[in-house]
Structure 1
Amino acid sequence: MHVTFLGTSGAVPTSVRNPSAVMVRREGERFLFDAAEGTQRQMMRFGTGFAVSHVFLSHLHGDHVLGLPGLVQTWDFNDREEALSIHTPAGTRGRVEDLVSVTGATPSFPVRVHEVSAGDVALSRSDFEVRAFGTDHRTKSVGYALVEDDRKGRFDREKAEAELGIPPGPKYGKLHRGEAVELDDGRVVEPEQVVGPPRPGRRVVYTGDTRPTDSVVTAAEDADLLIHDATFAEDRRERAGQTGHTTARQAAEIGNRAGAKRLALTHVSTRYAGQSDRLEAEAREVFDGEAFLPDDGDELDIPFPDADE
């Protein structure tokens, strides 16, 4: 799993930061979380590719969605045939459909807009889900958690062969799939004798704009990466609450409560241009894991939790 930060600024772009957009690439699929003005230019600049199958909108403020019409038009120009799914908070489908068709042209490929509420599974695959969770902004909003299923436990080949006398072959596959096998001497070997406990998958959580809220803590439990609103420094905590945002320190407190391993601070106000180290420092004073403020174009690999074992 690979994350590219396409836009890390708040409502207004700067010369070095675009407004909100994050690309997540997993097993050949590309998912786009929010699509601010200029997102397609960022995709070209940072080489993410354009083969996006799903767009997940956290809310419909302009600094999160105004790049969508241009993207759809570019896909149309490039003779796209694959359907595009756009996920948006409940009650906003009509506005997204208007946004997509703002030029008056109808895309040549199917565009399907799906409304989601907190608790809904926005996307379900055989080995992972993208789940919507509640956020607290000034409009209808949700965050999204990409959550992989647990993986099979490790198969102990040495024990199977040396201790239990199971010859290499199809029986190994059956045991790893959770099926008991009978050996030639009549013994029955159960899967748990040679297969370890299930291994956790990965979890990446994107909040979009939000005040601190318990629903994020729940969604981000043990997250490998929490991408959280960190619009303001701590001296602007009151302003953050008034505008539906979070300070860097508050984001770190949320990350700690969730047990997240890494915390990416995003949606940074332009008042901190050239002062990103200030927000990082405030978060790092609190956060037990790795807290950082990515620049546009920064990339991050998300390893499996047991990768070092």
Structure 2
Amino acid sequence: MKIVFIGTPDYVVPILQLLHKKFRENNNSESGVVAVLTQTPKPSGRDKKISYSAVDTWAYTHKIPIYFNPLDIIKDNVKADVGVLASYGGLLPKDLITYFPKGILVIHPSLLPQFRWSSPVPAAIITNTNPTGVSIIKMDDKFDHGPVVTQFKEDVTKDDTYGSLRDRLFEKSAEVLVQMLPAYLSGKINPKAQDDSNASFANMIKKDDAFIPPKILSAALLGKISKTKWPIPFIKVKGAVYNLQPTTYNLSQFIRAMQPWPIAWTTVKIKGEEKKLKILSSTQVPLEPKSDDLQPGTYNLQLNLVQLEGKNPVTWEQFKQGYPKLKLV
């Protein structure tokens, strides 16, 4: 079996490692992962030092050919049975999609057609979609549209962040993939078309998408539900932008869905100046009813760790002590 692996970040390296371990025959470079396609190294940080992707680094260490231009794989006549793509971070030309005899298999962390596109994991947490899962599909010329080869489900835990759930989904998908590949390549699996009528979408997250309106946050800190509408622009369900009810539970989910990036944030007014405040972690705390507008069993949102722009992270209590006249704006 010959495979070209297509991916970039560190959390897909377990897939690459297992493919290499399972299908490299007697250390023969003509079997297993015969090449990788990853993003081009780019300057990073203040010193503009060249940064290599995790897949690039792993392939270099294991002396596997590395490609940055998809068409160079065709140009060099790389021989492989199938491509495997996981979080590549770019579009592939049609010529490469049809180049491999068994096509390109895409590992997508949702139960397609649910949450197509770039941000399915945070979308699952925000919308309380449980279980979520992973789909392995055969790529066609539309984004996350190809027929499903196999799927598996995975529960979302109460403590899951975007990062923890994403890492677990990709790690488990590695085992599913290596078990399924021989049957797929021998023609024993018939991929099934997705039901486009049930498709929902989770576009690439921007930093502004992580904003929590101050009125919503202020209410949640008191165990109340704000009447302010809270659209989540990167999620679309049934053709419309998803609106999140601003309950304490949903805010807690949202904050975890923004970890480790882009990090939930709001705005505060300090000495008359508006500042950005990152919310690094939070919990829900049971609140005894003290007025008619609080029902038994109500929770308030408790912020644990925050970071004011230009400052180091501190606890919420430390922050309030440092800025006693704090106002959410």
TM score, norm. by length of structure 1 = 0.29
Higher relative contact order (CA 8 A, sep 6+): 1
